[in-house]
Structure 1
Amino acid sequence: MEAFIAAAEAAAELAGAVIRPLFRSPLLVEAKGDASPVTEADRGAERAIRALLAERFPAHGIWGEEYGPDRADAEYLWVLDPIDGTRAFVTGRPLFGTLIALLHRGRPVLGLIDQPGIGERWIGVAGQPTRFRSPLGGTPRCRPCGRLAEAELSCTSPEMFEPQDRPGFERLRAAARRVTWGGDCYAYGLMALGLVDVIAESTMKPWDWAALVPVVEGAGGRVTGWKGEALTLESDGRVLAVGDPALLPEATRLLAG
């Protein structure tokens, strides 16, 4: 596993070297099919990550947001999001992140959240405590929170919900202490630091959530679907994360109605 961690960290360094010079610079922004912004930073960072991983682990598969899957049925599959939070990136907000995950037979066993704009990094490994490095400090450990009425709820954007998902989220929102918007992958890192208690999102792709699972769960939380089920590459895009697993039954009940 240490060789996989070293590769993920090296890949994050390469991605950051591509991304940082382009941050807050004039960029040609294009519209993808889902209307999300794409920049040369996304593509260049993914190319750099793919090249390193292909060289070190030629038998592994790779599936990235920008360039799609290559041998997605391999025993080991790297899942990449070079810039999670591209809208933040193109508007000069530094909370975007690079997500690198390794799945073994479909299960996330390694996840890295790198924040190249602020120099923070989380590394989660299945069965191990989450590791965290930051110039700002912090200890990776989710906090106890047994009741939703005391919980800090976070979500990237209300626009991410399909119409059929909005009622469930609104029930959860009404039960929580308060909700904060924005953050993309950074919110999950904050959960691992004990600063966010619940995150509920939908229309998530595997590259959006795969790296988050080992990070949050290595800090004591849980990441599941909205019914409490384990996430898989065939999941429906609904993601629920709780810092205290005791919140899971109430949260899933409200989401399901």
Structure 2
Amino acid sequence: MPPLTDLHARLDKALEITETASRISLTHFNGALEIVTKADASPVTIADQETERSIRDALQKAYPDDGLFGEEYGIEGLGKETVWVVDPIDGTRSFIAGVPLFGMLLAMTQGQKPLLGICRLPALGQVYAAARGMGATRNGTSIAVSDCRTIDDAMLFINEGEKIYADVPAVFARLMQAGRLRRLSYDCQPHALLAEGKIDAVVDYDLKPYDFLAMVPIIEEAGGVITDWQGMPLHFQSEGRVVSAATPELHAELIALLN
């Protein structure tokens, strides 16, 4: 792991870069957008493309020896020791519909391990950030997960519920009976809410590395647990089934329920 002084400087730089890029997405939010459907049937807009280009250009200028992995413009130097992972608009469908819960995600990995993460919610004026050994913050104030230890007591958010229902209906049925309260949800904001202790668990599905790697340092530095559905650490090759929880005890119950 790099020295904390270097990691702190990189976190500050990443916050600066993503703040600048968030103004681009906000300029397009609620405006007229041309929407293109990608090969995987997901939508993309000029806002996604311009926002990622802003982040990539700034990272390449600041750290020319690092690799990049972005949703819209692909991979450059994935084999390098340090790789930045970019999702310019996490929740393009929400963005298109005028729902202000879309996010922006940026992670920095070394040896494929996420060391730094930023989750911005531009329309809400919120930014969650963390780096290894430095804790997690929301708008600069320290945050921590709840102390919920059982599913029966948990406020559970289920992301991509219709996909879970279609692909693994038995799991969906169990989830719909779990928790003290449950909500169907999408994208990165539920994981951010977990990191600051407002909810207790999130089950997510069909994600790409740029959808989850930034949340790993944020949730873990806030004291929580985030893994795949088998309880294994998340990395570039993870299949995209993700579960985050406030405590190890709650996480273990969720892993048992999912399997």
Q: Same fold (TM over 0.5)?
A: yes
Residue of structure 2 aligned with 1:217, choices 216, 220, 225: 220
1:107 is displaced (CA, Å) by 0.5
The structure-2 alpha-carbon separation of the partners of 1:100 and 1:52, relative to structure 1 and needing over 3 Å to count, comes to same
2:241 corresponds to 1:238: yes
2:37 corresponds to 1:31: yes
- Structure 1 length-normalised TM: 0.94
Show CA shifts across 1:213-241 (max 9, x none).
11111111010011111111111111010
Structure 1: 5+ residue runs without aligned partners? none
Q: Is the 8 A contact 1:153 1:173 kept in 2?
A: no
Partner of 1:146: 149
Partner of 2:197: 194
1:139 is displaced (CA, Å) by 5.4
Could you tell me the percent identity over the aligned residues? Answer: 35
Partner of 1:172: 175
Within-5 A mapping of 1:1-257: 1-133=7-139, 140-161=143-164, 163-256=166-259
The structure-2 alpha-carbon separation of the partners of 1:166 and 1:61, relative to structure 1 and needing over 3 Å to count, comes to farther
The structure-2 alpha-carbon separation of the partners of 1:165 and 1:108, relative to structure 1 and needing over 3 Å to count, comes to farther
Q: Distance in 1 between matches of 2:158 and 2:142?
A: 22
1:162 is displaced (CA, Å) by 7.3
Q: Distance in 1 between matches of 2:23 and 2:221?
A: 28
Q: Distance in 1 between matches of 2:14 and 2:176?
A: 35
Shift >6 Å, 4+ stretches: none
- Structure 2 length-normalised TM: 0.93
Worse-matched range after superposition: 169-178 or 104-113 = 169-178
Show CA shifts across 1:81-103 (max 9, x none).
00001111111111101000001
The structure-2 alpha-carbon separation of the partners of 1:181 and 1:162, relative to structure 1 and needing over 3 Å to count, comes to closer
Q: Is the 8 A contact 2:191 2:219 kept in 1?
A: yes
Q: Is the 8 A contact 1:188 1:216 kept in 2?
A: yes
Q: Is the 8 A contact 1:169 1:200 kept in 2?
A: no
Q: Is the 8 A contact 2:201 2:243 kept in 1?
A: yes
Q: Is the 8 A contact 1:113 1:211 kept in 2?
A: yes
Show CA shifts across 1:31-53 (max 9, x none).
11122221100000000000000
1:190 is displaced (CA, Å) by 0.5
The structure-2 alpha-carbon separation of the partners of 1:122 and 1:52, relative to structure 1 and needing over 3 Å to count, comes to same
1:155 is displaced (CA, Å) by 2.3
Structure 2: 5+ residue runs without aligned partners? 1-6
Show CA shifts across 1:117-139 (max 9, x none).
111001011222101118xxx75
Worse-matched range after superposition: 65-74 or 168-177 = 168-177
SS in 1 for 2:177: helix
1:156 is displaced (CA, Å) by 2.7
Show CA shifts across 1:156-211 (max 9, x none).
32123374433224323312122212241111111011111111111110000000
